[in-house]
Structure 1
Amino acid sequence: MSAFIQYQLISFVRSLKFIPPFIAFFVWVFILYAYKNVPILSSYGASSIAMYLIMTWITMSIFTLDEESEKHILISHLKRKVSYLFGKWLTILVVMLPLLLFAIFFPIITESFKGNMSLMLYAYAFYSHLVFMTFGILVGTLFSATKLATKKYAWLSAVLIIVISLSAKSIIEISLFFKWILWVFPPVFKVIGYMEGEDQVLINIPVILDSVFVVIYIIIGTVILISLFMKKER
């Protein structure tokens, strides 16, 4: 598996597909912290949303690195089809790491925040970025590693999913009917909703329940994607 991940990383770098999403993310963060004394949680919320978009982009780029014939050769070397999927995800996690560290520590190094970091703020910052990264990986995988990848408007569909999930709160306010439809979309506001207002995170029942819901959503989404991938590769 390590050889496969190394091969994917080399292919990703040589393809130069990493340049647009990396530049877009760095520019977003630089602009976000162009001014000093910015609030902590809402700023991390903005960079988490950026991470959601960028990880969807990177995921779709990495899954489209291999031609169909090359993919079958790689799967034969890996012995199991699901190992190909896991290998891709592990590659994405490696690519994700420098972006995560940059998003968390850049404003701290540049002293951009108006308040002081605490252990709880660190924990929730990592949590929010990791969750939004995972949402991006799930959306990107859905439209690049399943039968939906063959559709003409895969990229447009991925963007539509992101836009709807980010605007879900406003859509529900229009009519509660949409609440029973939008649960299939990534529960963005189960995370971002606690990053508005004052720079403090309280561990209470609503936070715990929403966090559990997010984890369950990610687990179910992962299982469904594995199933869809295996059906595509039959």
Structure 2
Amino acid sequence: MTAFVRYQCISHIRSLKFIPPVFLFLAWVFILYAYKNVPILSSYAVSSIALYLTMTWITMSIFTQDEESEKHILMAHLGKKVKYLFGKWLTILVVMIPLLLFAIFFPIITDSFKEGVSITLYAFAFYSHVIFSVFGILVGNLFSATKLATKKYAWLSAVFVIVVSLASKSIIEISMWFKWILWIFPPVFKVIEYMEADDHVLIHSAFVIDNALVVFYVIIGAAILVFLYLKKES
């Protein structure tokens, strides 16, 4: 598996597909912290959203970088089709980690925040960036490694899911009926709403329940993607 991940990383670098999403992400972070004394949580919320978009783009690029014949050869070498999927996920995580660390530590290194960052804020910032990255991976995976990948508007569909998930709270406020439809979209607002207040995180029952639901969504989403991927490749 290590050799496969190394091969995928090298292929991704050589394809140069990483340049647009990574460049835009870095530019987004630089612009975000162009000024000093910015609030902590709301700034991290913005960089989390940027990572959400970036990881969706990167995931779709990594899953589509192999030709069909090359993909079947790699599956044969790995022995199981599901190992190919897990190898892709590991490759995406390798790409994600430096971006995530940059988003978290760049404002600290440049002393951009208006006050010091506590351990609790560090932990929540790390959590929010990881969760939003995983949301991006799930969305990108859905439209690049399942039968939806063969649809003409796969990229547009991915953008639609991202936009709806980001606006879901406002959509629900229009009509509660949307609440029963929007549960299939990544529960972005269950994380974001705790980053809109002052620069502190209060651990209470609602916070624990909401984030438990987020983790549950990720687990179920990953399981469904494995099923859809194996169904496509069967």
**Which residue matches 1:116?**
116
- Aligned mates of 2:39, 2:121 — CA distance in 1: 12
Deviations 1:142-189 (A, max 9, x none): 000000000000000000000000000110010000001000000001
Q: Distance in 1 between matches of 2:30 and 2:208?
A: 32
- Measure the CA separation in 1 of the matches of 2:24 and 2:219: 29
TM-superposed deviation, 1:197: 1.9
Take 1:182 and 1:24, find their aligned partners in 2: how far apart are those partners?
Answer: 28
Aligned equivalents of 2:197, 2:177: Cα separation in 1 = 28
**1:9 is the counterpart of 2:17:** no
Matching residue of 1:150:
150
Partner residue in 2 for 1:38: 38
Residue aligning to 1:167: 167
SS of 1:167's partner is helix
1:28-65 per-residue CA deviation (whole Å, 9 max, x = no partner) reads 00010010000000000000000000000000000001
> One-letter code of the match for 2:102?
F
Counterparts in 2 of 1:19-38, with a 5 A limit?
19-38=19-38
Structure 2 unmatched ranges of 5 or more: none
Alignment partners' CA distance in 1, 2:133 and 2:97: 10
Mapped pair 1:141 → 2:159: no
The letter for the 2-side match of 1:122 is Y
Work out the CA distance in 2 between the residues paired with 1:115 and 1:180. Answer: 40
Question: Counterpart in 2 of 1:90?
Answer: 90
Match of 1:76 in 2: 76
Equivalent position of 2:55 in the other structure: 55
Q: For 1:58-89, what per-residue CA distance to the aligned partner results, in whole angstroms no more than 9, with x for missing partners? A: 00000001000100000000000000000000
Q: Which residue of 2 aligns with 1:99?
A: 99
TM-score calculated relative to the size of structure 2: 1.00
Structure 2 counterpart of 1:223: 223
**Paired residue for 1:187?**
187
What's the Cα RMSD here? 0.4
SS of residue in 1 equivalent to 2:17:
coil
1:197 and 1:77 map into 2 onto residues whose CA distance is 51
Matched residues in 2 for 1:144 and 1:19: separation?
A: 19
User: How much does 1:115 deviate?
Assistant: 1.2
The whole-number CA distance in structure 2 between the counterparts of 1:142 and 1:3 is: 25
Which residue pairs with 1:128 in the alignment? 128
Structure 1 segments (4+ residues) deviating >4 Å = none
Identity across matched positions, percent: 73
Q: Which amino acid aligns with 1:144?
A: S
CA distance in 1, matches of 2:190, 2:79: 39
Deviation at 1:106, TM superposition (A): 0.1
Query: 2-side partners of 1:37 and 1:206: how far apart?
Result: 30
1:214 alignment counterpart: 214
